[in-house]
Protein backbone atom coordinates (compact mmCIF):
# COMPACT_ATOMS: atom_id res chain seq x y z
CA UNK A 1 0.00 0.00 0.00
CA UNK A 2 1.21 3.50 -0.86
CA UNK A 3 2.57 5.84 1.78
CA UNK A 4 0.36 8.55 3.26
CA UNK A 5 0.40 11.64 1.05
CA UNK A 6 1.06 15.01 2.70
CA UNK A 7 0.02 18.28 1.09
CA UNK A 8 1.71 21.35 2.63
CA UNK A 9 -0.76 24.16 3.28
CA UNK A 10 1.50 27.10 3.96
CA UNK A 11 1.36 28.92 0.62
CA UNK A 12 -2.02 30.47 1.27
CA UNK A 13 -3.40 33.86 0.40
CA UNK A 14 -4.80 34.18 3.92
CA UNK A 15 -1.23 34.75 5.14
CA UNK A 16 -0.41 38.47 4.85
CA UNK A 17 3.13 37.68 3.71
CA UNK A 18 1.93 35.44 0.90
CA UNK A 19 -0.90 37.81 -0.07
CA UNK A 20 1.59 40.64 -0.45
CA UNK A 21 4.07 38.50 -2.36
CA UNK A 22 1.35 37.34 -4.76
CA UNK A 23 0.14 40.90 -5.31
CA UNK A 24 3.63 42.22 -5.92
CA UNK A 25 4.75 39.14 -7.89
CA UNK A 26 7.64 38.81 -5.46
CA UNK A 27 8.91 35.20 -5.59
CA UNK A 28 11.14 35.30 -2.48
CA UNK A 29 8.60 34.83 0.36
CA UNK A 30 6.76 32.16 -1.63
CA UNK A 31 9.91 30.19 -2.46
CA UNK A 32 11.03 30.45 1.17
CA UNK A 33 7.81 28.89 2.41
CA UNK A 34 8.00 26.25 -0.28
CA UNK A 35 11.53 25.28 0.72
CA UNK A 36 10.64 25.07 4.42
CA UNK A 37 7.81 22.71 3.65
CA UNK A 38 9.81 20.55 1.23
CA UNK A 39 12.67 20.27 3.73
CA UNK A 40 10.12 19.22 6.34
CA UNK A 41 9.00 16.39 4.07
CA UNK A 42 5.80 17.59 2.35
CA UNK A 43 4.97 15.48 -0.73
CA UNK A 44 2.83 18.10 -2.48
CA UNK A 45 2.56 21.86 -1.97
CA UNK A 46 -0.83 23.53 -1.97
CA UNK A 47 -0.87 26.92 -3.71
CA UNK A 48 -3.89 28.92 -2.63
CA UNK A 49 -4.28 32.20 -4.52
CA UNK A 50 -7.80 32.90 -3.22
CA UNK A 51 -10.68 33.69 -5.60
CA UNK A 52 -8.33 35.87 -7.72
CA UNK A 53 -11.24 37.13 -9.79
CA UNK A 54 -9.24 39.96 -11.25
CA UNK A 55 -5.94 38.41 -12.34
CA UNK A 56 -6.11 34.66 -11.53
CA UNK A 57 -5.44 33.59 -15.12
CA UNK A 58 -2.16 35.41 -15.02
CA UNK A 59 -1.31 34.85 -11.34
CA UNK A 60 -1.66 31.05 -11.20
CA UNK A 61 0.74 30.34 -14.13
CA UNK A 62 3.22 32.79 -12.63
CA UNK A 63 3.28 31.10 -9.24
CA UNK A 64 3.34 27.58 -10.78
CA UNK A 65 6.34 28.56 -12.88
CA UNK A 66 8.39 30.16 -10.11
CA UNK A 67 7.81 27.14 -7.87
CA UNK A 68 8.54 24.53 -10.51
CA UNK A 69 11.65 26.33 -11.75
CA UNK A 70 13.06 26.26 -8.23
CA UNK A 71 11.68 22.92 -7.03
CA UNK A 72 11.18 20.68 -10.09
CA UNK A 73 10.82 17.57 -7.93
CA UNK A 74 7.83 18.76 -5.93
CA UNK A 75 4.35 18.46 -7.45
CA UNK A 76 1.73 21.11 -6.75
CA UNK A 77 -1.87 21.33 -5.66
CA UNK A 78 -3.56 24.30 -7.34
CA UNK A 79 -6.07 25.88 -5.02
CA UNK A 80 -8.62 28.47 -6.14
CA UNK A 81 -12.31 28.66 -6.94
CA UNK A 82 -11.41 30.40 -10.20
CA UNK A 83 -11.71 27.74 -12.89
CA UNK A 84 -9.98 29.81 -15.58
CA UNK A 85 -7.03 30.38 -13.24
CA UNK A 86 -6.80 26.63 -12.61
CA UNK A 87 -6.86 25.87 -16.31
CA UNK A 88 -4.16 28.45 -17.00
CA UNK A 89 -2.04 27.01 -14.18
CA UNK A 90 -2.38 23.44 -15.42
CA UNK A 91 -1.40 24.49 -18.94
CA UNK A 92 2.03 25.61 -17.81
CA UNK A 93 2.42 22.85 -15.21
CA UNK A 94 5.32 20.41 -15.71
CA UNK A 95 4.18 16.98 -14.58
CA UNK A 96 7.61 15.32 -14.35
CA UNK A 97 7.31 15.11 -10.57
CA UNK A 98 3.64 14.12 -10.56
CA UNK A 99 0.19 15.16 -11.77
CA UNK A 100 -1.25 18.44 -10.53
CA UNK A 101 -4.01 18.28 -7.92
CA UNK A 102 -7.02 20.55 -8.33
CA UNK A 103 -8.31 21.89 -5.01
CA UNK A 104 -11.22 21.53 -5.16
CA UNK A 105 -14.44 20.26 -6.70
CA UNK A 106 -17.68 19.83 -4.77
CA UNK A 107 -21.12 18.44 -5.50
CA UNK A 108 -22.51 21.93 -6.01
CA UNK A 109 -21.32 24.90 -8.04
CA UNK A 110 -17.80 23.47 -8.38
CA UNK A 111 -18.78 20.11 -9.83
CA UNK A 112 -17.29 21.12 -13.20
CA UNK A 113 -13.83 20.97 -11.67
CA UNK A 114 -14.19 17.20 -12.10
CA UNK A 115 -14.44 17.71 -15.85
CA UNK A 116 -11.43 19.98 -15.77
CA UNK A 117 -9.43 17.23 -14.03
CA UNK A 118 -10.60 14.69 -16.61
CA UNK A 119 -9.72 16.96 -19.52
CA UNK A 120 -6.19 17.64 -18.26
CA UNK A 121 -5.46 14.27 -16.61
CA UNK A 122 -5.17 15.84 -13.17
CA UNK A 123 -6.05 14.68 -9.68
CA UNK A 124 -8.98 16.46 -8.04
CA UNK A 125 -10.03 16.90 -4.44
CA UNK A 126 -13.75 16.21 -4.18
CA UNK A 127 -15.39 17.99 -1.25
CA UNK A 128 -18.34 15.94 -0.06
CA UNK A 129 -20.40 19.11 0.24
CA UNK A 130 -22.83 21.24 -1.72
CA UNK A 131 -23.56 24.34 0.30
CA UNK A 132 -21.65 24.75 3.55
CA UNK A 133 -20.92 21.85 5.82
CA UNK A 134 -22.88 18.65 5.13
CA UNK A 135 -25.55 17.92 7.74
CA UNK A 136 -24.69 14.27 8.31
CA UNK A 137 -23.01 11.30 6.70
CA UNK A 138 -26.01 10.49 4.52
CA UNK A 139 -25.40 13.83 2.85
CA UNK A 140 -21.65 13.28 2.70
CA UNK A 141 -22.02 9.93 0.98
CA UNK A 142 -24.66 11.32 -1.39
CA UNK A 143 -22.31 14.12 -2.46
CA UNK A 144 -19.44 11.67 -2.72
CA UNK A 145 -21.56 9.55 -5.06
CA UNK A 146 -22.55 12.58 -7.14
CA UNK A 147 -18.91 13.50 -7.64
CA UNK A 148 -18.08 9.91 -8.52
CA UNK A 149 -20.90 9.77 -11.08
CA UNK A 150 -19.71 12.95 -12.72
CA UNK A 151 -16.17 11.56 -12.81
CA UNK A 152 -17.38 8.38 -14.52
CA UNK A 153 -19.25 10.39 -17.14
CA UNK A 154 -16.19 12.52 -17.73
CA UNK A 155 -13.84 9.53 -17.88
CA UNK A 156 -11.86 10.38 -14.76
CA UNK A 157 -10.58 7.30 -12.95
CA UNK A 158 -11.55 7.14 -9.26
CA UNK A 159 -7.81 6.76 -8.50
CA UNK A 160 -7.55 10.45 -9.41
CA UNK A 161 -10.05 11.73 -6.87
CA UNK A 162 -9.28 12.51 -3.24
CA UNK A 163 -12.58 12.67 -1.39
CA UNK A 164 -12.68 15.22 1.41
CA UNK A 165 -15.45 14.52 3.95
CA UNK A 166 -14.82 17.99 5.40
CA UNK A 167 -13.07 17.92 8.74
CA UNK A 168 -14.76 20.13 11.33
CA UNK A 169 -13.50 22.11 14.28
CA UNK A 170 -13.29 20.26 17.57
CA UNK A 171 -13.90 23.39 19.58
CA UNK A 172 -17.60 23.84 18.95
CA UNK A 173 -18.31 20.73 16.91
CA UNK A 174 -16.98 18.10 19.25
CA UNK A 175 -20.09 15.98 18.75
CA UNK A 176 -19.38 15.70 15.01
CA UNK A 177 -15.84 14.30 15.20
CA UNK A 178 -16.78 10.62 15.31
CA UNK A 179 -19.17 11.16 12.43
CA UNK A 180 -16.38 12.60 10.26
CA UNK A 181 -14.13 9.66 11.09
CA UNK A 182 -16.98 7.32 10.23
CA UNK A 183 -17.35 9.10 6.87
CA UNK A 184 -13.64 8.49 6.19
CA UNK A 185 -14.24 4.82 6.94
CA UNK A 186 -17.29 4.56 4.70
CA UNK A 187 -15.60 6.30 1.77
CA UNK A 188 -12.48 4.17 2.22
CA UNK A 189 -14.53 1.01 2.27
CA UNK A 190 -15.79 1.98 -1.20
CA UNK A 191 -12.15 1.68 -2.31
CA UNK A 192 -11.77 5.44 -2.71
CA UNK A 193 -8.96 7.74 -1.65
CA UNK A 194 -9.51 10.46 0.93
CA UNK A 195 -8.02 13.71 2.18
CA UNK A 196 -8.91 16.58 4.46
CA UNK A 197 -7.67 19.83 5.95
CA UNK A 198 -6.20 18.94 9.33
CA UNK A 199 -6.00 22.52 10.56
CA UNK A 200 -9.80 22.70 10.37
CA UNK A 201 -9.93 20.39 13.35
CA UNK A 202 -7.81 22.53 15.66
CA UNK A 203 -9.02 25.92 14.46
CA UNK A 204 -9.35 28.43 17.30
CA UNK A 205 -7.48 26.29 19.82
CA UNK A 206 -4.38 27.61 21.63
CA UNK A 207 -1.34 27.41 19.39
CA UNK A 208 0.58 25.04 21.68
CA UNK A 209 -2.05 22.30 21.49
CA UNK A 210 -3.05 22.57 17.83
CA UNK A 211 -0.37 20.15 16.68
CA UNK A 212 -1.37 17.59 19.27
CA UNK A 213 -5.02 17.73 18.30
CA UNK A 214 -4.20 17.51 14.60
CA UNK A 215 -1.75 14.64 15.09
CA UNK A 216 -4.21 12.65 17.20
CA UNK A 217 -7.10 13.21 14.82
CA UNK A 218 -4.88 12.30 11.89
CA UNK A 219 -3.74 9.04 13.49
CA UNK A 220 -7.35 8.10 14.22
CA UNK A 221 -8.40 9.03 10.68
CA UNK A 222 -5.53 6.98 9.18
CA UNK A 223 -6.84 3.96 11.01
CA UNK A 224 -10.22 4.68 9.37
CA UNK A 225 -8.51 4.66 5.98
CA UNK A 226 -7.45 8.27 5.36
CA UNK A 227 -4.86 8.28 2.56
CA UNK A 228 -3.73 11.92 2.56
CA UNK A 229 -4.15 15.24 4.35
CA UNK A 230 -3.56 18.92 3.87
CA UNK A 231 -1.25 19.81 6.71
CA UNK A 232 1.33 22.14 8.15
CA UNK A 233 4.48 20.07 7.55
CA UNK A 234 6.50 22.36 9.82
CA UNK A 235 4.67 20.80 12.72
CA UNK A 236 7.10 18.01 13.53
CA UNK A 237 4.67 16.20 15.82
CA UNK A 238 2.14 15.85 13.00
CA UNK A 239 4.80 14.65 10.56
CA UNK A 240 6.25 12.16 13.06
CA UNK A 241 2.83 10.77 13.90
CA UNK A 242 2.06 10.31 10.19
CA UNK A 243 5.37 8.46 9.68
CA UNK A 244 4.66 6.30 12.70
CA UNK A 245 1.10 5.55 11.59
CA UNK A 246 2.45 4.49 8.18
CA UNK A 247 4.91 2.27 10.00
CA UNK A 248 2.19 0.58 12.02
CA UNK A 249 0.17 0.17 8.82
CA UNK A 250 3.26 -1.63 7.43
CA UNK A 251 3.54 0.73 4.49
CA UNK A 252 7.33 0.64 4.81
CA UNK A 253 9.97 -1.31 6.66
CA UNK A 254 11.00 -0.34 10.18
CA UNK A 255 14.51 0.93 11.00
CA UNK A 256 15.56 2.74 14.18
CA UNK A 257 16.15 5.96 12.22
CA UNK A 258 12.78 5.95 10.44
CA UNK A 259 11.88 9.44 11.66
CA UNK A 260 15.03 10.85 10.05
CA UNK A 261 14.04 9.75 6.55
Partner 1 sequence: MAYKMPTQKYSGKINEVTIGTDLKIGGESVLPFYSFDGDIGNKPAIGMEIWDVYPESWPEAVLNIFKDVVDDPVKWAKFCIENYNPDFICLKFEGANPDGLDRSPEECAEVAKNVADNVNVPLVIAGCQNSEKTAKVFTKVAEALANKNFVFLSAVESNYKEVGAAVGLAYGNIVAAESSVDLNLAKQLNILITQLGIQPDRMVMDPGCSAVGYGFEYVVTTMDRIRLAALQQNDSTLQVPMILPVSFESWKVKESIATEDDAPEWGSQEDRGVGMEISTAVGVLAAGANAVILRHPRSVEVVRNFVNQMTE
Chain contacts with partner 1 (rule: CB under 8 A): 3, 251-257, 260-261
Nearer to partner 1, 65 or 251 (CB): 251
> Could you tell me if 30 and 62 are in contact, meaning their C-beta atoms sit under 8 angstroms apart?
no
- Least separation in angstroms between CB 250 and partner 1: 9
Nearer to partner 1, 203 or 244 (CB): 244
Name the residue among 49, 51, 111, 43 with its Cα closest to residue 71: 43
- Least separation in angstroms between CB 68 and partner 1: 22
- Least separation in angstroms between CB 115 and partner 1: 29
Nearer to partner 1, 209 or 255 (CB): 255
Nearer to partner 1, 95 or 185 (CB): 95
- Least separation in angstroms between CB 3 and partner 1: 8
Q: 79 - beta bridge partners?
A: 48, 103
Residues 6+ apart with CB under 8 A from 195: 5, 7, 125, 162, 163, 164, 226, 227, 228, 229, 230
> Could you tell me if 65 and 95 are in contact, meaning their C-beta atoms sit under 8 angstroms apart?
no
Query: Torsions phi, psi of 205, nearest 5?
Result: -85, 160
Amino acid sequence: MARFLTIGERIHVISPTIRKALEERNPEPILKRAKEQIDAGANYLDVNIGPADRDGEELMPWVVKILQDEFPETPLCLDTANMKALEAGIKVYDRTAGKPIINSADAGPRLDMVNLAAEYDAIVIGLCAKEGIPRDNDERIMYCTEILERAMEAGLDQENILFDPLFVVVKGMQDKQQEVLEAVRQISEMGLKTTGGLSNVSNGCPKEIRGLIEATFCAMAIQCGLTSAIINPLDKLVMDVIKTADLIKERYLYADSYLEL
